[in-house]
Homo-oligomer: A and B are copies of this chain.
Amino acid sequence: MGNDALVIAPIAGLLGLAFSLYLAYTTLKNSPGTAKMADISRAIQTGASTFLKREYRVIGLVALLFAPILALVLNPYVMVTFFVGVLCSALSGVIGMTIATRTNSRTTYAARDGLHRALNVAFSGGAVMGMAVLSLGTLGISGTYLFFEKIGGTPDPLSVITGYSIGASFIAIFIRIGGGIFTKAADMGADLVGKVEFGIPEDDPRNAAVIADQVGDNVGDVAGMGADLNQSFTDTLISSLLLGAGAHGIGGAVLGAKSLVFPLLVVANGILASTLGILIIKLLSSKSRIKVDNILRAGMLSSGVISSAGVFLIAKFYMGDTGLFFAVVSGLLTGILVGLNTEYYTYKKPIRLIVESTETGPATTIISGLAVGLESTVLSMTVLALGLIIAHHFAGLYGIALAGIGMLSILGLNISTDAFGPIADNAGGIAQMSGQDPHIREVTDKLDAVGNTTAAMGKAFAASATAAAALSLLTAYSEAAQVGVLDIRDVRVMGGLLIGGVLPALFSSIVIRSVSQAAQLMVTEVRRQFKEIPGLLEGKARPDYDRCVDIATRGALGHLVQPCLLAIGIPFVIVFVLGKEALAGLLAGCIVTGIFLALFMANAGGAWDNAKKLIEAGQMGGKGSLAHKASVIGDTVGDPLKDTAGPALDILVQLVATVSLAFAPLFLRILG
């Protein structure tokens, strides 16, 4: 191949990483706040890094056991790229978490100078992670590809780079599930005892689970979300490289080597667009006249426009095929529309239905939330299907992969705006715990609310990109395993489709149970401390925060391995019992119900959450009313759905697809 333009990607990756480090430096230059703020922040830092260390130890161990299998049944090069994938992904997680847990008290302190100052600090902290994920992913994948191309000889770079994909999925599934269980066990444990049994407010320092809850925001919402999008990015990019190999342009001409370069140029261009978008937001946040959500919107919009303009230029002048541009942009537009649909169902008219149904108690609240959640998936999936069909129209199967790239073309901004929500949430907790003036909490609450909207957007992008990436991987798998026609009337394909259709259900069920069990332990511990520590409820004694962090940590780590083994093991079982066609069917079924359930859980959970917030803002009798109680129950039901099981489904779908693809040569060797 040897196309010179290929080196642009790793260079862009390095520059993006440098920008990320620069952002980290400027963020840390802000004051960490008063001694008390810094003290609480330190406790959160310690809890988070202890959890991450223990989690990485488990991951490392499993990775070390798993890697030799890759080397033995596939080849040693795949093992090498696997470790590169693991390292790049783990590193972006460490960078993101380290800065996020140090930005929280800095945001609290900055909130004294107003909303815009707080936004600037919180957003910069989140952007560190955004740029780190985007840059390390681009650098890792393009670097790996170039390395194997340069050394030449036996391994075709495209055939070994699937190892990188498995590595990234590996980290993602552990971090997403682990973080998800941690955060919801702590959150539910804190609420069920603190709010419900003792009637003390959220983030009250007397609640032993309160630090664990704060740590959870970081390990779940920051690190978990980052890992999720990191994997989507990795899988999308790698599948576009694989499909690019034999891709045809609009005129039917084989695009050849350039079709491999195109996706890498698009993501390099995305690094530039994200950098500019971040700088625009930072610049605008000094103008206090402009509303905070408009600032974020302006940043995302300009990033999208810059990205699209760049893609157009690359498609027209380098590739000589504007169809590729339309494929990428149809992906971007699909992501935006799915995001807007999510916003509609979780913030607008539909949640009125939930708010009104709180009047007749928790049962009707739950029922109406389920109805809203179910309905919310319809437009999203339809738009997704149409977007993929349009992308396919412009560039065939390659176009589907490109649509995925398009969905992630403003990834840097997406992650940045996602990550600042939990930072603002943490900042609010620190304000409460350090006894700041209530107006500081008001500022961080406003930021948190804005962050919720952008986070819902991010989830929609992640689910859409998952669909595009998984479909591309399905195609790549069937080529690698040399399966012929995959007719849905073929009973093996249909059998796979039915079994794949319930795989996300099994996975969700396991994850939801794990959260319940861990939360139960947390409830017992918080109750015990209130009973056994004299003077705790009166505020005269300090609870043992560390024990709660430890319980959440052990709860999360203890429930990690089972769902991961399921995701990794199921392709082998299916392929050796029912054949290669059944595995393709399983992937398709898993995509359909996986994306459906992910959207359903995210949106139902979001809708309950926001219905509760509307009531807390005074509707239906406000806080303390029976309607409020019903809405709190709705929110609690939604918690493990929207923050643990739902987002983990994206990763399940991609991990199953990645494992199938990576081991396709083995299946081919054994089954012929």
A-side residues, CB < 8 A to B, are 192, 196, 353, 357, 360-364, 366-368, 370-372, 374-375, 377-378, 380-382, 384-386, 388-389, 392, 397, 400, 467, 471, 474-475, 478, 485-489, 491-499, 501-503, 505-506, 508-510, 512-513, 515-516, 519-520, 523, 578, 584-585, 588-589, 591-593, 595-596, 600, 632-633, 636-637, 640-641
Contact = CB atoms under 8 A, between A and B. Distances in A.
Contacts of A519: 364
A381 B499 contact: yes
Contacts of A360: 192, 520, 523
Given A374-B508, A513-B371, A488 B588 contact: yes
A501 to B, nearest CB: 4
Contact of A640 (B367, B515, B578): B367
A595 B589 CA distance: 12
19 contacts: A353-B513, A361-B633, A364-B636, A368-B513, A370-B637, A374-B506, A375-B509, A377-B505, A378-B509, A381-B501, A382-B502, A385-B495, A385-B499, A388-B491, A388-B494, A397-B491, A486-B487, A497-B592, A592-B592
A584 B512 contact: no
Of A366, A371, A578, A585, chain B has the most CB atoms within 10 Å of the CB of: A371
Nearest to A503: B378
Contact of A196 (B361, B389, B589): B361
A586 to B, nearest CB: 10
Nearest to A585: B488
Contacts of A495: 385-386, 388-389
A592 B637 contact: no
A197 to B, nearest CB: 10
Contacts of A353: 513
Nearest to A514: B371
Given A367-B516, A491-B392, A516-B368, A502 B196 contact: no
Contacts of A370: 512, 637, 641
Nearest to A489: B475
Given A485-B485, A505-B375, A492 B389 contact: yes
Given A474-B489, A593-B593, A371 B516 contact: yes
A641 B369 CA distance: 13
A600 B494 contact: no
A364 B513 CA distance: 10
Contacts of A388: 491, 494-495, 498
Given A374-B509, A491-B400, A385 B593 contact: no
A361 B368 CA distance: 19
Given A375-B505, A381-B499, A381-B502, 14 more contacts: A353-B513, A368-B513, A370-B641, A371-B512, A371-B513, A382-B498, A385-B496, A485-B485, A488-B493, A488-B497, A498-B595, A501-B596, A592-B592, A593-B593
A583 to B, nearest CB: 12
A506 B376 CA distance: 8
A492 B588 CA distance: 13
Contact of A397 (B363, B489, B506, B589): B489
Contacts of A593: 501, 592-593, 596
A189 B513 CA distance: 32
Contacts of A494: 385, 388, 471, 588
A389 B492 CA distance: 7
Contacts of A400: 491
Contacts of A361: 192, 196, 633
A520 B588 CA distance: 40
A510 B378 CA distance: 12
Contact of A637 (B367, B496, B509): B367
Nearest to A636: B363
Contacts of A640: 367
A378 B590 CA distance: 12
Nearest to A370: B512
A18 to B, nearest CB: 40
Contacts of A485: 485, 487
Contacts of A496: 385
B384 A600 contact: no
A384 B497 CA distance: 11
Contacts of A384: 498
A486 B485 CA distance: 8
A372 to B, nearest CB: 8
Contacts of A392: 491
A366 to B, nearest CB: 5
A226 B400 CA distance: 45
Contacts of A596: 501-502, 505, 593
B578 A389 contact: yes
A636 B363 CA distance: 6
A78 to B, nearest CB: 24
A363 B487 contact: no
A292 to B, nearest CB: 32
A276 to B, nearest CB: 33
A192 B584 CA distance: 48
Nearest to A379: B502
A239 to B, nearest CB: 13
Contacts of A585: 488
A242 B321 CA distance: 48
